[in-house]
A = this chain, B = another copy of it.
Amino acid sequence: MAVAVIGVGHTKFGNRRDVNVPELAWEAMKQAFDSANVEQKDIDFFVVGTAGLWSSEAAVPSLMAEYAKLGVGSMRVEAACATGSAAIRVGYTAIESGEADVVLVLGVEKMQESPNPTVIEIIGRFGSYFWEFENFGLTFPAYYALHATAYMAKYNATEEDFARVAVKNHYYGAKNPNAQFQKEITLETALNSPYIAWPFKLYDCSPITDGAAAVVLASEEKVKEWGIEEKVWILSQGVGTGTANLSKRETFTSLKSAAFAAELAYKKAGIDMDAPYKQLDGANVHDCFTAAEIIAYEDLRFAKRGEGVELIRNEQTYIGGRIPVNLDGGLKAKGHPIGATGVSQAVEAYKQLLSKAEAGRQAEIKNGRWLTHNVGGTGHYSYVTIYSLEKR
């Protein structure tokens, strides 16, 4: 049973102290209902992706369901920063399995008002906390800096190369009305920003973000019954898990779980592993830090090992290049509300494939396929999903 995204919702990302969590979530859910032309009574399962440790209130799906007037079954799913994609997995397998016809998937996170402990400590909990955070003080900028320096050492990449990713993602973020940062930056601005964890400077890091995104998923049967014209299909998904403890990783220039997930996703979708970008119109990759985007190019086989950096140097991931990446601004400029990010990527896949993205950031749609790459931790969880205008 094929599964389609039939409607999407997306709040403004950024500082959302104007609303509480249910209000923020409802903004996205309401848009998704309207966009899919469905009502509460049409939904028969509700999945909420949220890391949720920023607040003492833990009964998030129940609170959201009450606010949205949904009485159907629900649950929360979490896979660190890949939480949103995990929620989509639970939603679409519920339909594929025949257990549900129409599922609402919500991703939501409100991180800016985190009380004690600090946001940085809470994010640190999604690594190998007791060993790496408490013993060595490894925070997430430092985690990814280990990967960045390994990549620099092995492939002669530079801080300037990483900054180019920030420049690209800000360039497109400036054109996305939902982005946290809607301004272009220059290479100089990025390079002159203060260091956070060498080689990363402020502009190499995705921000702390409040935001929500929602999608309505429906079975092929419902799509036919309702005569839905605007939809994209979930073609395939690959998932992988990495070790919690970084000292057990074989390499730092690749996230093994992401490469594994990509292979699975390509295989299921029948996409050529040698040049998958030829069968895709674009991708959203998990650029929580600039270097992570370059490593993602390689894990996703958009470039050979060591050549990912050439893609950004030669502007091959801008529109018109080999494969446009993060045309919504990515985590870097759009923002990264942990639980919402994977769902936000699905919203972007929907908009791009249906050519509904804003002017200046719409890819050319030829193959009708879009990839999303969503990573929890430093490859602790990897979810690669391929969306398509044509069903399997």
Q: Which residues of A are interface residues toward B (Cβ below 8 A)?
A: 1, 45-46, 51, 53, 56-59, 61-63, 65-66, 70-80, 86, 89-90, 92-99, 125-130, 237-245, 248, 256-257, 260-261, 376-377, 380-383
Contact = CB atoms under 8 A, between A and B. Distances in A.
A74 B244 contact: no
Given A244-B63, A380-B62, A72 B239 contact: yes
B61 A241 contact: yes
7 cross-chain pairs, A with B, having the tightest CB-CB distances, nearest first: A73-B239, A96-B97, A58-B125, A62-B380, A97-B97, A75-B86, A93-B97
A58 B53 contact: yes
Give this chain's copy count. Answer: 2
B130 A57 contact: yes
Given A62-B380, A96-B98, A79 B76 contact: yes
Nearest to A67: B244
16 contacts: A59-B80, A59-B125, A59-B127, A59-B129, A59-B244, A63-B244, A66-B243, A66-B245, A71-B256, A75-B86, A77-B90, A78-B78, A90-B93, A92-B97, A93-B93, A93-B99
A261 B63 contact: no
A45 B59 CA distance: 26
Contact of A71 (B53, B65, B240): B240
A62 B244 contact: yes
A61 B79 contact: yes
A63 B79 CA distance: 12
B73 A261 contact: yes
Contacts of A61: 79, 241, 381
Nearest to A3: B97
Given A59-B380, A66-B248, A79-B61, A241 B74 contact: yes
A137 to B, nearest CB: 14
Contact of A66 (B57, B240, B244, B382): B244
Contact of A130 (B56, B73, B86): B56
Contacts of A73: 238-241, 261, 381-383
Nearest to A380: B62
B75 A89 contact: yes
A45 B239 contact: yes
A241 B90 CA distance: 17
Contacts of A97: 1, 92-97
A239 B130 contact: no
A97 B91 CA distance: 11
A87 B233 CA distance: 25
A73 B248 CA distance: 18
A72 B244 contact: no
Given A61-B79, A93-B94, A96-B96, 20 more contacts: A45-B239, A53-B53, A53-B58, A56-B129, A56-B130, A59-B128, A62-B377, A66-B243, A66-B244, A71-B256, A71-B260, A72-B240, A73-B238, A73-B382, A74-B381, A75-B78, A75-B79, A77-B90, A93-B93, A94-B97
A202 B45 CA distance: 37
Contacts of A380: 59, 62
